[in-house]
């Protein structure tokens, strides 16, 4: 592959995106592809420190501060991990990215979506995912999967997570070429088969 590929995995907490990302990575590696895995917040080094603050800080966090921390982590992830790997022709799979900020801080927290789009553009320096999977699931089921031990974001409540879910579905309507919605209540194997189908279709037309 001359140019690499940047694929992101999105959805509400407990939707199973991380499992599906790992399965796709395995499939791609078995097919001889060079794959890099990363996540937001996180990735490695400084990104993991920002993740720790975002998920576990116990004091008050303003919505705007929260947004900027996610965006700072994103800039680091793009510059240090994503762009170098894609430029080398690798396939980068990223657990959450720009759409998380629109869904969580925009639809969830109620911050202005136009401004988030603008800030996302700065954080990514214009790089956009080639393909995005959204794993859609009702919030009651996903919160049961998350269990009782919830981090700061997971503790934000049912209404918040319903708004996030709605946000993802709206985004998918706006960008149907890039964002593919999958029913995350299906079995892991069924969803994996659909992910591969979508990936293969993407590769056949691009």
Q: Which of 5, 8, 20, 39 binds ligand TYD (CB under 6 A)?
A: 39
Torsion of CA 53, 58, 64, 69, to 10 degrees: 0
Among 8, 20, 100, 142, binds ligand TYD (CB under 6 A): 100
Cα separation, 163 vs 8, whole angstroms: 20
Query: Would you count residue 101 as binding ligand TYD (CB under 6 A)?
Result: yes
For position 153 contacting ligand TYD by CB under 6 A, the verdict is yes
Are residues 20 and 191 in contact, defined by beta-carbon separation less than 8 angstroms?
A: yes
Residue 206 C-beta: closest distance to ligand TYD, Å: 25
As measured in angstroms, the least distance from the Cβ of 169 to ligand TYD is: 16
Q: Which is nearer to ligand TYD, 21 or 181 (CB)?
A: 21
Q: Is 8 in the site for ligand TYD (CB under 6 A)?
A: no
Burial class (CB in 10 A: 0-12, 13-18, 19+), 156: middle
Q: Does 70 bind ligand TYD (CB under 6 A)?
A: yes
Q: Judged by CB, which is closer to ligand TYD: 168, or 199?
A: 168
Task: Measure CA 205 to chain center.
Answer: 23
Q: CA 34, CA 112: separation in Å to the nearest integer?
A: 38
Measuring CA to CA, which residue among 195, 137, 168, 176 is closest to residue 21?
Answer: 195
104 touches ligand TYD by CB under 6 A: yes
Q: How many residues bind ligand TYD (CB under 6 A)?
A: 15
Q: How many CB atoms lie within 10 A of CB 93?
A: 22
- For the chain, the first-to-last Cα distance in angstroms comes to 11
Residue closer to ligand TYD, measured from CB, 1 or 61: 61
| Interface stretch with ligand TYD, choices 1-9, 28-36, 85-93, 94-102 (CB under 6 A) | 94-102
Rounded Cα distance, 52 and 144, in Å: 23
Binding site for ligand TYD (CB under 6 A): 13, 18, 39-41, 55, 70, 95-96, 100-101, 104-105, 153-154
């Amino acid at each position: 592959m001359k140019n690499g590929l940047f694929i992101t995995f999105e959805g509400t907490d407990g939707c199973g995106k991380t499992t599906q990302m790992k399965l796709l990575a395995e499939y791609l590696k078995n097919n001889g592809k060079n794959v890099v895995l990363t996540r937001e917040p996180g990735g490695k080094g400084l990104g993991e420190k920002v993740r720790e603050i975002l998920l576990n800080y116990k004091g008050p966090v303003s919505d705007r501060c929260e947004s900027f921390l996610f965006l700072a982590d994103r800039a680091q992830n793009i510059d240090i991990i994503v762009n170098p790997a894609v430029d080398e022709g690798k396939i980068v799979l990223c657990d959450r990215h720009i759409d998380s900020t629109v869904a969580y801080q925009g639809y969830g927290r109620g911050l202005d979506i136009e401004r988030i789009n603008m800030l996302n553009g700065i954080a990514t320096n214009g790089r956009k995912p080639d393909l995005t999977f959204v794993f859609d699931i009702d919030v009651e089921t996903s919160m049961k999967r998350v269990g009782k031990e919830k981090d700061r974001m997971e503790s934000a409540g049912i209404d918040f997570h319903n708004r996030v879910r709605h946000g993802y579905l709206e985004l998918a309507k706006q960008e149907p070429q890039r964002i593919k919605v999958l029913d995350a209540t299906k079995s892991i194997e069924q969803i994996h088969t659909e992910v591969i189908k979508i990936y293969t279709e993407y590769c056949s037309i691009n």
